[in-house]
Structure 1
Amino acid sequence: MHVDADKKLAELKAQNEVDGPMFKMKNDPRVTRVGHFLRKTSLDELPQLFNVLLGNMSLVGPRPPLPSEVLEYTEYDKQRLWVIPGITGLWQATVRNSVGFHEMVELDLEYIQRASLWFDFIILLKTVKVVFKPNDAY
């Protein structure tokens, strides 16, 4: 992203392409060409492996939200915060940016209810597939 990306967010809020507290914009002008490639291929997630090694994140789990997003969460939405966040999850490995915030929360809650080593393994396999054949990544 460009250096002043946070400052430009307020101007772009009206162009948010998903409902709810999360901000997504397919052609976000704050993202550089290199950044677009890194996001499309999910290579931008590799530095998060340090957080996994430190124990702050898991490989699989709901994505960690921004503090500004959590301020807008309902009590129902906050259930996704009950588990350790992950680099990938059911949402990212299946529908990614083709659904809105509320559907993302539903998928995160489904993951929390079904969580197991086997389910994590399945999600990791789906994630590898998505890295090689991106699904609505931007």
Structure 2
Amino acid sequence: MKMKMKTKIQINVLSIDARDDTIHFQSYFSNGHCSTTLETYGYANEFQDFAKKITEFPKSIDDVAIYKLGERGIKWAYYLLIKVYCSQPNGRASIRIEATNNSISPYYHESIFEIESQAASLNRLGKSLLHWNPRESKKFEWTPNQQ
């Protein structure tokens, strides 16, 4: 019997550096068929601007909301792109995930895939991210069909 992965986004706080308030995040993304995990660093408000954009998404059929951290290549340890856009005019939307660990072989990995969702579910994602405080709650989780 083949087990299907659950479609979700999960962000865990691995540690918080008390000296500069830097947070070590581990992000997990799955579309039910493939998944990836990427570790990054940021601050408690790391996802706030992105969250605000998707609480009101879409404002038009051409609306796009982007969260980007790092770059591909040796200049950065990682690259993460989360791009939300309308994939169909009927209200379906997609979240494009591009996650790259810029390490050297055999530790290098790159994943590119999409998570399909309804715009209303993405609005809930935005609202949940806006209210998430990684200093108080070490885990954030969203699934497209949560209420």
Q: TM-score, normalised by structure 2?
A: 0.29
Structure with the higher strand share, 1 or 2? 2
- Return the structure number with greater relative CO, CA threshold 8 A, min gap 6: 1
Q: TM-score, normalised by structure 1?
A: 0.30
Structure with the higher helix share, 1 or 2? 1
